[in-house]
Amino acid sequence: MNYGQPTFGSDDHLALPGEGRSKRRWWIIGTAILAVLVLVGVYFAMSGGKKDGSAAAEGGGKTEQLPTVSVAIPGRQTSARIISATGSLAARREMPIGVAGEGGMVTRVLVEPGQWVGAGQVLATVDRAVQTQTGASLAAQVNVARSDAAIAQSELDRAQALVNRGFISKADLERKAATRDAAVARVRVAQAQLAEQNARTGRLDIRAPAAGLVLTRAVEPGMVISSGSGTLFRMAKGGEMEMRAQLSEADLVGLPLGVSAQVVPVGGDTSFSGQVWQVSPVIDPTTRQGIARIALSYNPALKPGGFASATIRRGSTDLPQLPNSAIQSDTKGNFVYIVGNDNKVARRAVKLGEVSDNGVAIAEGLAGNERVVLSAGAFLNAGQKIKPVLQKTQG
């Protein structure tokens, strides 16, 4: 028996220093791998929950969040139909005045533009020295013819007294009667010639054919005028003016006579009342326009030849009216979106009427009791469901 030697058994042996360090290293590695696996599992679990929550949130938005859109019930409003136009001012009945007689040298001009004259009033006089002498000669011939007629009548009277006594035959009496008749006829011829000359002399004066306003004057003293001299004066009969408004073919159709209009000359702010008294029966094939003539009373501010604007009241309409923002258009035409009882929008084709400060009148397509989308129509589609908010339209 050896007492100084260590004893080794099968179960209780002493571990070597290298074996302990190896086991600790494997324990650390295993613990780290387990921790990583736990973290990965937690990460995937959390990310999956977020995706499910987001999907649920998106699904809820599609079914619950609807666009809020303003709508209105337009009703029907009575408003005046207004037509705007431009055109020139002119005399309603312009009278060009020229030489009516043979003419001559002008001696006096008695009127100026802007002056009122009466019917038959002398506007200018022409030298009549020659015509006066001719008239005096004819007047003398009348007196000679009257003297001859008086002598013939006296001879006839004496012959009638002698024929009863038998001194003169009836044949001589008839000859004297014929001589008297010829003398009387010569008197009438001379008188007619004198009257003709006096009429010619009277036509030398340039006279106003009717009462009115002198617009222009194109003659001065000393001018020699004749029937080929053209227009010497222009007058507005009665001083009445008019505006010749240029209107489109569509505006002229059905435009009644007598409708009221307001005319404002360019450069001024005063409005003058008038009435449409004539509508052109002809349309210009180039401009597709015609003329509506608006009668105006005389006013110094209305200058013939000037430019003016007009608003014509064509009548009144009873139609739905909408703001411009409610009107949409595309290649198919103008339309609006209306909202049904299920709050879905539907397209409705419309025909536009008059445009005014109150909005656009809808001539066709709406009855006035529909809910119409006021704005945001460009961002909507037919059949789309919305959340309508009713607003009041301006009356």
pLDDT (tens digit per residue) in 305-333: 999 999 888 766 778 888 888 898 888 88
State the pLDDT at residue 346.
Answer: 92
206: Cβ contacts below 8 Å, ≥ 6 apart: 97, 99, 100, 122, 123, 124, 125, 126, 219, 232, 233
Pick the residue with more confidence: 288 or 81? 288
Give the separation between CA 62 and CA 56, rounded to whole angstroms: 10
pLDDT tens digit sequence for 83-96 = 889 999 999 999 99
Among 382, 357, 276, which residue's Cα sits nearest to residue 80? 357
Nearest CA-CA partner of 373 in 70, 66, 68: 70
Ranges assigned E (strand) in 331-380:
333-339, 345-349, 351-356, 359-364, 371-373
Do 246 and 263 meet the contact criterion of CB atoms below 8 Å apart?
A: no
**Domains located in the chain, CATH noted:** 68-79+319-391 (2.40.420.20), 103-126+204-238 (2.40.50.100), 128-203 (1.10.287), 239-316 (2.40.30.170)
**Which is it for strands 77-91 and 272-279: parallel, antiparallel or unpaired?**
unpaired
pLDDT digits (tens, 9 = 90+) for 158-175: 777 777 766 777 777 788
Handedness of CA 200, 201, 207, 210 (dihedral sign): negative
Q: Which is more confidently placed, 165 or 145?
A: 145
The whole-angstrom separation of Cα 250 and Cα 256 is 13
User: What band does 296 get if pLDDT is binned at 50, 70 and 90?
Assistant: very high
* Both tokens assigned to 60: 């809820």
What's the pLDDT band for 7 if we cut at 50, 70, 90? very low
> What is the mean pLDDT of the segment spanning 274-285?
90
Residue 13 confidence (pLDDT): 44
Residue 300 amino acid letter: P
Query: What pLDDT is attached to residue 63?
Result: 53
| Integer angstrom CA distances of residue 272 from 80, 111, 243, 298, 302 | 19, 28, 11, 10, 9
pTM for the complete prediction?
0.54
pLDDT of residue 393: 65
CA of 308: how far to CAs of 93, 237, 333, in Å? Answer: 19, 21, 34
pLDDT, tens digit (0-9, with 9 covering 90-100), for 106-135: 999 999 998 999 999 999 998 887 777 788
> Whole-angstrom Cα distance, residue 61 to residue 162?
143
Burial 121-131 (b: 16+ CB within 10 A, else e): eebbbbebeeb
How far is residue 94 from each of residues 39, 78, 195, 234, measured CA to CA in Å? 106, 40, 32, 7
Q: Treating both helix axes as pointing N-terminal to C-terminal, what angle do 129-163 and 170-202 enclose, rounded to 10 degrees?
A: 160
Average pLDDT over residues 190-200: 85
What's the pLDDT at 365?
A: 87
Q: Following CA atoms 25, 28, 32, 38 in sequence, which dihedral angle do they give, to the nearest 10 degrees? A: 140
